[in-house]
Chain A
């Protein structure tokens, strides 16, 4: 192997301190994060995250694919919320094309997006509690997560790499029985959140490990580019779904939970309350689901129905052309941001007028959130580093891309 340089190297600043290397294979680093700690006894003096172990060059790969092929790549960025990434990318390309999306497709997107948020928060809650030492919660969370993954499998055929949102609408009509199944889940889920809260919220050990730990002020969080629950935990009232709505979010009513202390506990309680808000949005989407088409009327961009392909010459031609040559997107650039479970997920797509994107850049919420780690942890105990890493909910796939 050519690239075995152990970088970066941290030199101790004082005689009494030592360097501790945490990760990249440490179970509490949620993937392959390497953290270099300079410690004085049990106190952390300096902390430096080292990332890039999961870099797969997705941005470069996008430039060699047709617009519609990139959807599949976006699943692989953040493997806990593939549908959020699908949504953000297709919204960006639709904005470049100037496409109008039918209401049913928009509401389905919102519904599945909120299920994705619940899915992601459940994995976060389970692993975060596991890191701190509360083992039971993990098993409970994964029980409900399994239900959501089955819903995803039902609608898209895949549990994780869904690719269900396509440029111009959805890949398929939701199958028979899908809405009943989601309704069944939505009815049962709030009591399950009560179960998690019974285990953690009032638990004195949980409180001691999280309250007042890894604080960050709203000024620091803003300056460091934090977003999502990490920013709202410090009391900054900003949620893209409410403040800069996309995909029809302006039709839904929900609260944006806020913290005040900016500690691990606040970030925990915000995400738990978001679980309840999300299931509320899912219910509203189910109740108000409009009828109509699931794809935009844009034959040059959206693949035709199978039926039409067998009966109409034009449909067959468009299908052949989209698959073999893609579709040209007029030159321009778009930055589209959505509220992912972790914060502001942004896609910057540049078109030069051809069928392949000239540049696709993903603004990863976790990458910016990770920068808050030194501010949170310096001067605190090593054990708090584990709590802090868990509380900013990082996914290395998204950070490294």
Chain B
């Protein structure tokens, strides 16, 4: 299976069930799409992530009813620096989709999706712990893995691999 170049043209991808649902709902919410290595990524506007997740979960024809994972990538020193990543899975249709939101380094704040999937709780706490991204509306936003009084966010790219000495 040789690699083919990624498709980023919205016109070609608009028949994908998740893209289609977003476009019907609120087209400006979709900022970019990418189909690469058989995986679909949709970049959403920061303001629409919680509603977008609920929309995909409650879509009757094609429900993405399971949240696999929430994580983050730090593209330091580029801006917007953070990319929060949501992996959704449709158990009835056996299909995955990846949602992304870009966040500024100056105010990394995003709405929590714990009201959509309660299971986002630990994942978001881990992202808060490791990247320092704040999730508004999270029921218990505390560090998950590192000690409470730890200095810095270890998975940021400007945090040294050996830690601060």
**Which residues from chain B contact A330 at a C-beta distance below 8 Å?**
3
Known: A244-B94, A333-B41. A400 touches B145 (CB 8 A): yes
- Cβ-based interface call for A262 (8 A): no
Q: Are A225 and B1 in contact (CB under 8 A)?
A: no
- Cβ-based interface call for B32 (8 A): no
Q: Mark B58-79, 1 if CB is under 8 A from A, else 0.
A: 0000000111110101100000
CA distance A5 to B142 in the complex (A): 13
The prevalent SS among residues of B at the interface is loop
A51, A223, A333, A337: which contacts B118 (Cβ < 8 A)? Answer: A223
- Interface stretch (choices B7-15, B22-30, B44-52, B146-154): B146-154
Q: Are B39 and A334 in contact (CB under 8 A)?
A: yes
- Cβ-based interface call for A361 (8 A): yes
Of residues 88 through 104 on chain A, the ones whose CB sits less than 8 Å from some CB of chain B are: 95-100
Of residues 323 through 376 on chain A, the ones whose CB sits less than 8 Å from some CB of chain B are: 330, 332-335, 337, 344, 346, 348, 350, 358-359, 361, 363, 367-368, 370-371
Q: Are A332 and B6 in contact (CB under 8 A)?
A: yes
Distance from B96 Cβ to chain A, minimum over Cβ atoms (Å): 7
Q: Are A225 and B73 in contact (CB under 8 A)?
A: no
Interface magnitude class on chain B: 35 or more
Identity of the chain B residue whose Cβ is nearest the Cβ of A225 in the assembled complex: B119
- Cβ-based interface call for B85 (8 A): yes
Q: Mark A95-128, 1 if CB is under 8 A from B, else 0.
A: 1111110000000000000000000000000000
**Which residues from chain A contact B123 at a C-beta distance below 8 Å?**
225, 367-368
Q: Are A51 and B145 in contact (CB under 8 A)?
A: yes
- Cβ-based interface call for A177 (8 A): no
**Which residues from chain A contact B65 at a C-beta distance below 8 Å?**
222
**Which residues from chain B contact A358 at a C-beta distance below 8 Å?**
73
A332, A363, A400: which contacts B69 (Cβ < 8 A)? Answer: A363
Identity of the chain A residue whose Cβ is nearest the Cβ of B92 in the assembled complex: A238
Q: Are B87 and A346 in contact (CB under 8 A)?
A: yes
CA distance A98 to B39 in the complex (A): 13
Distance from A5 Cβ to chain B, minimum over Cβ atoms (Å): 5
**Which residues from chain A contact B37 at a C-beta distance below 8 Å?**
95-96, 98, 332, 334
- Interface stretch (choices A56-64, A75-83, A136-144): A56-64
**Which residues from chain B contact A238 at a C-beta distance below 8 Å?**
91
Distance from B157 Cβ to chain A, minimum over Cβ atoms (Å): 8
Distance from B106 Cβ to chain A, minimum over Cβ atoms (Å): 21
CA distance A400 to B145 in the complex (A): 6
B117, B142, B147, B150: which contacts A225 (Cβ < 8 A)? Answer: B117
- 6 closest residue pairs by CB, A with B: A225-B119, A3-B147, A98-B3, A52-B145, A7-B148, A363-B69
